[in-house]
Structure 1
Amino acid sequence: MAQPDILVRNVTAVTVDPERRVIERAWLAVTGDRISGIGTEHDAEPSDAREVVDGTGMVAMPGLIDAHSHAGHGLVRNAGAGLDTWFQACEEIYARGSTVAFWRAEARMTQLERLRGGITTGMTLLGGGADIYRTDDPAFGDAHSGATAESGLRTFMAVGPGRPPFPRSYRQSSGTGQAQDVTVTFERQLEVSESLIDSWNDLLGRGTGVCLVMPVYYANDVAEPAARKRVIEMGEAVMELRRRKGVLFTQDGHRDGSIALARDLGVLGEFALLGHSVDLTEEDFAALKETGASIIHNPSAIMSVYGRCPVPELIEAGITVCLGSDAAAPDRGYDMFRHMAQCMHYHRRHFRDPAYLPPGKTIEMATIDAARALGLESELGSLEIGKKADIILIDMRKPHLYPPVMPVTRLAHFANAADVDTVIVNGKILMRGRKTDHLDADDILADAAEQAALAFERTGLTHLLEEPQDFWRNARQPL
């Protein structure tokens, strides 16, 4: 073995490799951006590593993958007294109240939260909530991807057209307070999306992947022949760009027959990751098997309150299911350990059977299964020689993680984001002892607070930042 750059030693390695090995007293060698060696206590450690990380009492596992989240939400997540007002805030701020500085500040804060929680790869829609994607100008996506590159993490930024009718109105505000309203066509949003792909699509290298998104359509949206024709034409244009650029495609909010409709509209394939996907029909299952599309389960999301994603049934049908945070939003953040636990309890309660979704399978959904859905199973999602060195260390020397047995169970049921001690991405140590020296956390948080306040002021929505009194004493918040 060539001289390693990093040697991680004295760890319990939860590899998620094809044999699903859990190796006690293991060591891992990193050379460049790759894992170059994995050994047991019976194998001689490299003696000449340039840097040694002592992982005594820690578990090493692949970096977590969050397959569904929203840029922008981090600065809006605390707003509103209810879901309707929160969606209104998203729509107003994303389309009319946000600046380039807003999107940069939100991305910096999100990446800091992800890093501290062990998320090394994510997929993030550039907006959303109400299908408002900030693709009227490349500057907004540039700001987001630039912050991703600075963080050292990997993020697929999903960009594309919003929901008809077109053209849509966007307000472009400068940092000096000047603003102008512009009308944005479907074609313009595709042009901006292509520009962002050309500028930033390098997930394995720079960490800044780009994929395409378009709204989910339901049967009533295409009931009229003219409406169906227009949606098909838009789908064809998005798919033509996807094929030409060789990128992934994602959608947010499938339910009750919409997956089968998406197949009929021509926008599904192995390149597609479909978010939420609740209350699926037999035809939806058939469409998934036919096309090879993957499902993103967001167990902590509001949509998982309104309906149920049939995860065990999908897995047993041979369909790839991965895990997403749907963060940030009114009631959830980027703690993927929390979402793992929520996932297990969610489906066990449904079946009234605690045997569903055992801990190992749930960890797979946030690692190797997510890598498979992203088409990166050969590069990410497990600790294997030759794969990218995306490794996190979990400090298990804590009362809520003791006694020191059954590490897989402890990770899935009891760990949380604050237990992540060390994060290595692309062979670089980004966090050690929970210190992120390359990021100025105080500056990131101050900037986030300032940009959020300015966005709410611009849109006249500061009243949504006041918590209502009916949060108290009531079993259900009055409407």
Structure 2
Amino acid sequence: MADIIITNGIVVTMDPHRRIIENGAVAIDKDRIVAVGPTEEVLASHQAPTMIDASRKIVMPGLIDGHAHAGHGLIKTMGGGDSDAWYEACHKAYTVASTPEFWRAEARLAALERLRFGVTTGVSLLGGGDTILRTDEPIYGDAHCEGVREVGTRSVVAVGPTRPPHPRTYARIVDGKAVERPVSFEEQFETCKTLIDTWHGKHGGRLNIALITPTLRAEHLAELGAENLEEAKRQARLTADLAKEAGLVFTQDGHTKGSVAYAKELGILGPNALLSHSTNLTEDEIRIVADTGTSIAHNPSAIASILGRCPVPELLEAGANVCLGSDATAPDRSGDMFRHMQQCMHYHRTYFKDPTWLPPGRVLEMCTIDGARALGMDKDIGSLEVGKKADVVLLDLRRPHLYPLNMPVFRLIYFANGNDVDTVIVDGRIALQDRKALFVDEDEVLDDAQRETDAMLERTGFQSMLETPKMFWHHVRATDQIEH
């Protein structure tokens, strides 16, 4: 007996043999997969009260987003392409102008976006990078986790201390006014410990905490000065050590040439480490990543990938594990991992001027089983195998851009988009069916997001950032808007 059986689908297992079962079925009991195989064979040995007919649909593992930012969903295109204005909006909103209600509303909106796009697991940094994390008090992380829990997806929430010097100024909104106070590294560190105790591994393992510490790049080494540099190194080691002790993912944002070698000197790399962006790495740094078992989150649609290149093929050939990230939600990108798979292929093929690089199956691996490996979850998610958690996505092939019905896996990767997702099961629970979320009222989530965004704009006075920039039309380059 099972709880759910999905029948008659094209099952893309992502198992070690990468089996594709043309008329396949998946049986689910509670939160686990109990059978994967031809429909006739699965039905001969299993029955279930809930039957899902996946005719003309692909049945695949839930997608995994290896790098994104909480908070950004309510900031999105603010500044209209002006990076300085965007970062100013993030910094002020996340440190002195946001409430727990803001973080819950954004978490629900972002989790709903992921759910609708078939992303069942995602990493979310609690803020915009490593200098504006909302870790002054646990209430903001609590609100984020509660929002994700309501939608029903899986999340790895990255929290940690900000870059020295400390203290940093944060504010709690009281009666509509910002009450500012200085926050020390020690307070941020205690916030992280509290969030670990409260949320890590909770709700069937759907909610987990990761730790993040600021990436030290060349410009930071020059800016910090000797005293602050030593303190930054101490804090990085303390945070990385806590991650290892607690069995957590340890992540860093914004790596580039030189910073990986420096991280190795600090002793903070290893199988639990996940480094985002990682552009312009040297050959030695590629070797360091592979030798230490560190994973890389490649974000092909991010601005960092315009300013530099993550050497993904070279990393893979060296034996490193690379997953795919959206770096969402941000001024120019969403959480649609289909978009980022397609961008990934074209990005590296353009670099090599060779369309044979990164075959489509390889990039699907990057945001399924390789993403699970990067998060230390490959024994539970990332593929459709007996004994694994039931994170399953049904994608509707009966769409003009996906027909005729042949070469379905090619169509899945080259032509599909997040809006083709029909049904999503997370941890054995149907969270999306017929493109409709089952655990939350979508209109209520959207209205809540609008209300909290309007309140944040009122507190910050950033309404002018919503105006269309004067270089939007007619110009070839927005040269007075974006610094090159």
Q: Match for 1:423: what amino acid? A: V
What's 1:187 paired with? 186
Give the drift of 1:462. Answer: 1.0
What's 2:282 paired with? 281
Q: Distance in 2 between matches of 1:44 and 1:266?
A: 49
Report the secondary structure of 2:436's partner residue: coil
What's 2:407 paired with? 406
Contact map agreement 2:421 2:435 (CA 8 A) in 1: yes
Give the drift of 1:198. Answer: 0.3
Q: Distance in 2 between matches of 1:130 and 1:289?
A: 24
Is the alpha carbon distance of 1:299 and 1:149 closer, same or farther for their aligned partners in structure 2, counting shifts above 3 Å? same
Contact map agreement 2:372 2:381 (CA 8 A) in 1: yes
Q: Match for 1:62: what amino acid? A: P
Q: TM-score, normalised by structure 1?
A: 0.97
What's 2:471 paired with? 470
Q: Distance in 1 between matches of 2:6 and 2:435?
A: 16
Give the drift of 1:242. Answer: 1.6
Q: TM-score, normalised by structure 2?
A: 0.96
Q: Distance in 2 between matches of 1:181 and 1:41?
A: 61
Q: Which moved more, 1:117-126 or 1:286-295?
A: 286-295
Give the drift of 1:179. Answer: 2.6
Q: Distance in 2 between matches of 1:244 and 1:309?
A: 30
Q: Distance in 1 between matches of 2:40 and 2:450?
A: 51
Is the alpha carbon distance of 1:389 and 1:47 closer, same or farther for their aligned partners in structure 2, counting shifts above 3 Å? closer
Is the alpha carbon distance of 1:181 and 1:6 closer, same or farther for their aligned partners in structure 2, counting shifts above 3 Å? same
Contact map agreement 1:252 1:276 (CA 8 A) in 2: yes
Q: Does 1:341 align with 2:342?
A: yes
Q: Distance in 1 between matches of 2:42 and 2:125?
A: 45
Contact map agreement 1:235 1:266 (CA 8 A) in 2: no
Contact map agreement 1:323 1:365 (CA 8 A) in 2: yes
What's 2:376 paired with? 375
Q: Match for 1:86: what amino acid? A: W
What's 1:164 paired with? 164
What's 2:41 paired with? 43
What's 1:91 paired with? 91
Q: Match for 1:192: what amino acid? A: T
Runs of 5+ consecutive residues of structure 2 not aligned to the other structure: none
Q: Match for 1:277: what amino acid? A: S
What's 2:104 paired with? 104
Is the alpha carbon distance of 1:400 and 1:228 closer, same or farther for their aligned partners in structure 2, counting shifts above 3 Å? same
Runs of 5+ consecutive residues of structure 1 not aligned to the other structure: none
Give the drift of 1:22. Answer: 0.6
Q: Match for 1:400: what amino acid? A: H
What's 1:9 paired with? 7
Give the drift of 1:225. Answer: 4.0
For 1:66-145, list aligned pairs within 5 A.
Answer: 66-81=65-80, 82-129=82-129, 131-145=131-145
Report the secondary structure of 1:132's partner residue: coil
Is the alpha carbon distance of 1:204 and 1:340 closer, same or farther for their aligned partners in structure 2, counting shifts above 3 Å? farther
Is the alpha carbon distance of 1:226 and 1:60 closer, same or farther for their aligned partners in structure 2, counting shifts above 3 Å? same
Give the drift of 1:78. Answer: 1.7
Contact map agreement 1:253 1:276 (CA 8 A) in 2: yes
Q: Distance in 2 between matches of 1:10 and 1:60?
A: 9
Report the secondary structure of 2:471's partner residue: helix
Q: Distance in 2 between matches of 1:243 and 1:130?
A: 19
Task: Give the fraction of aligned pairs with identical amino acids, expressed as a percent.
Answer: 50
Give the drift of 1:461. Answer: 1.1
Q: Distance in 2 between matches of 1:191 and 1:44?
A: 49
How large is the Cα RMSD of the aligned pairs?
A: 1.3
For 1:71-470, list aligned pairs within 5 A.
Answer: 71-81=70-80, 82-129=82-129, 131-174=131-174, 176-202=175-201, 205-222=204-221, 224-470=225-471
Contact map agreement 1:58 1:397 (CA 8 A) in 2: yes
Contact map agreement 2:286 2:314 (CA 8 A) in 1: no
Q: Distance in 2 between matches of 1:388 and 1:276?
A: 29
Contact map agreement 2:130 2:213 (CA 8 A) in 1: no
Q: Match for 1:314: what amino acid? A: L
Q: Distance in 1 between matches of 2:373 and 2:244?
A: 19
Q: Which moved more, 1:192-201 or 1:281-290?
A: 281-290
Is the alpha carbon distance of 1:227 and 1:290 closer, same or farther for their aligned partners in structure 2, counting shifts above 3 Å? farther
Between the two proteins, the alignment pairs up a number of residues equal to 476
Report the secondary structure of 1:86's partner residue: helix
Is the alpha carbon distance of 1:417 and 1:203 closer, same or farther for their aligned partners in structure 2, counting shifts above 3 Å? farther
Q: Distance in 2 between matches of 1:375 and 1:129?
A: 22
Q: Match for 1:53: what amino acid? A: I
Report the secondary structure of 2:204's partner residue: coil
Q: Match for 1:293: what amino acid? A: T
Report the secondary structure of 2:56's partner residue: strand
Q: Distance in 2 between matches of 1:313 and 1:240?
A: 29
Give the drift of 1:239. Answer: 2.3
Is the alpha carbon distance of 1:130 and 1:39 closer, same or farther for their aligned partners in structure 2, counting shifts above 3 Å? closer
Q: Which moved more, 1:222-231 or 1:95-104?
A: 222-231
Give the drift of 1:228. Answer: 3.4
Q: Structure 1: which 4+ aligned runs deviate by more than 4 Å?
A: none
Q: Distance in 1 between matches of 2:114 and 2:282?
A: 34
Give the drift of 1:47. Answer: 5.7
Contact map agreement 2:36 2:42 (CA 8 A) in 1: no
Contact map agreement 2:59 2:394 (CA 8 A) in 1: yes
Give the drift of 1:221. Answer: 2.7
Contact map agreement 1:156 1:203 (CA 8 A) in 2: no
Give the drift of 1:42. Answer: 4.8
What's 1:23 paired with? 21
Contact map agreement 1:154 1:204 (CA 8 A) in 2: no
Give the drift of 1:478. Answer: 2.9
Contact map agreement 1:87 1:130 (CA 8 A) in 2: no
Report the secondary structure of 1:39's partner residue: strand
Q: Distance in 1 between matches of 2:205 and 2:240?
A: 25
Q: Match for 2:332: what amino acid? A: D
Q: Match for 2:200: what amino acid? A: N
Is the alpha carbon distance of 1:373 and 1:47 closer, same or farther for their aligned partners in structure 2, counting shifts above 3 Å? closer
Report the secondary structure of 1:124's partner residue: strand
Report the secondary structure of 2:124's partner residue: strand
